[in-house]
A and B are shown apart, each in its own frame.
Chain A
Amino acid sequence: MEILDQITRHYNYVITIFLMIAGVYIVVAKSNMIKTLIGLSIFQASVYLLYLSPGKIIGGTPPIIGEGYEVYSNPLPHVLILTAIVVGVATLAVGLALVVRIHEAFGSIEEDEVLRELEHE
């Protein structure tokens, strides 16, 4: 019963960890390169959650200073994650461009097929 209580209090972290291992699982177990990139962005999304969850204060408002509000959530994780999202999309674009180039060169976006092709040469 105490374990159950602990898990509900840490539900954000549990989901964060689930997304994290799902992302890593996709990266490790799938050989399709576009799927791998999607796994990478799921992993990144889990990191966003990991940063934003502790910054929330129950009863707080978004960190925009206004009259009549005393409690604000922590603004620092928001700033860091704002940067991380944009950089994540930039790296995703480069990764997808690489996949397109690999498809032009080898006619396949499956990692093992490309490796076999390379061994034949």
Chain B
Amino acid sequence: MVLLTLMALITLAIVRVRNLFAVVALTGAFSFLMASVMMVLDAVDVAMTEASVGAGISTVLMLGALYLTKSREAPPRFSQVIPVVVAVGVGAVLVYGSLELPGFGLADTPVNTHVGEAYIQRVMYDADIPNVVTAVLASYRGYDTLGETAVIFTAGIGVLLLLSRGRGEDSQADGGEEGGGDAS
């Protein structure tokens, strides 16, 4: 609960601060907090991914982009009142809707009683891998992961094409960005 509140505070700071370097640093802190929350929610594999990919690679990517562009945000040119009103209104409606959801941490909710339960019961018989997340990712949903790899490959090629176009041979920067895309 403390971690979640901290995350909300950091988000407010991200909205307010106009120095983009500070915003990127705050985003890194946000990702680490997110990873801690995931640990608390028993999602250890996801927490590891978030700490390395979210806090590591995306921070590096954003710093690279800031190095190639500008690091200050211009002051707002139009009124912020209407977006704030719309955001608060939508938030209030969503909170009202979420009150009907089942409470936190219960075992007998519809989410936890069907497919996830079946995976846990069958995984040792089917795949003989104790880590259920790994088994589902690589075995039951292998094609999904293959498609994900295709997406990352496409993104890497896209970044490479975008950054090398119109700059000729002297494009050192895109090597790093493309490497980051592949590593994830």
Q: Do A and B come from one complex?
A: yes
By the criterion CB–CB under 8 Å, are A63 and B54 in contact? Answer: no
Q: How far is the CA of A26 from the CA of B11 in the complex (A)?
A: 10
Distance A112 CA – B74 CA, assembled complex (angstroms):
10
Chain B residues lying within 8 Å of A86, measured Cβ to Cβ, are 49, 53, 148, 152, 184
Instruction: Among B34, B73, B101, point to the contact of A48 (Cβ < 8 A).
Output: B34
A83 vs B48: C-alpha distance when bound (angstroms)? 13
**Interface size counted on chain B using CB atoms at 8 A:** 99
**Interchain Cβ contacts within 8 Å, total number:** 273
Asked if A118 lies at the interface with its beta carbon under 8 angstroms from chain B, I say no
Q: Does any Cβ of B come within 8 Å of A1's Cβ? A: no
Complex: A41 Cα to B14 Cα, angstroms: 12
For the complex formed, measure the closest distance between the CB of B77 and the CB atoms of chain A, giving whole angstroms: 6
Chain A residue with minimal CB distance to B48?
A: A82
B36 close to chain A: CB less than 8 A: no
| Nearest A-chain residue to B70, judged by Cβ | A109
Bin chain A's interface residue count: 35 or more
Contact A100 B101 (CB under 8 A): no
CA distance A26 to B144 in the complex (A): 31
Q: Closest Cβ of chain B: how far from A49's Cβ, in Å?
A: 7
Q: Report if B23 contacts A (CB, 8 A).
A: yes
Task: Apart from A57-B105, A77-B43, A90-B151, list 4 A-B contacts with CB within 8 A.
Answer: A21-B91, A26-B15, A29-B84, A110-B73
Residues in B lying within 8 Å of A, measured CB to CB: 1, 4-5, 7-8, 11-12, 14-15, 20, 23-24, 27, 30-31, 34, 37-38, 40-46, 49-50, 53-54, 57-58, 61-62, 64-66, 68-70, 73-74, 76-77, 80, 83-84, 86-88, 90-91, 94-95, 98-99, 101-107, 109, 111-112, 115-117, 119-120, 123-124, 130-133, 136-137, 141, 144-145, 148, 151-152, 154-156, 158-159, 162-163, 165-167, 174, 177, 180-181, 184
Q: Which residues of A contact B (CB under 8 A)?
A: 6-7, 9-15, 17-22, 24-26, 28-32, 34-35, 37-38, 41-42, 45, 48-49, 52-58, 60-66, 71-79, 81-83, 85-87, 89-94, 96-101, 103-104, 108-110, 112-113
List the 8 closest pairs (A to B, CB-CB), nearest first: A58-B105, A74-B116, A90-B155, A73-B42, A29-B83, A96-B65, A63-B132, A75-B132
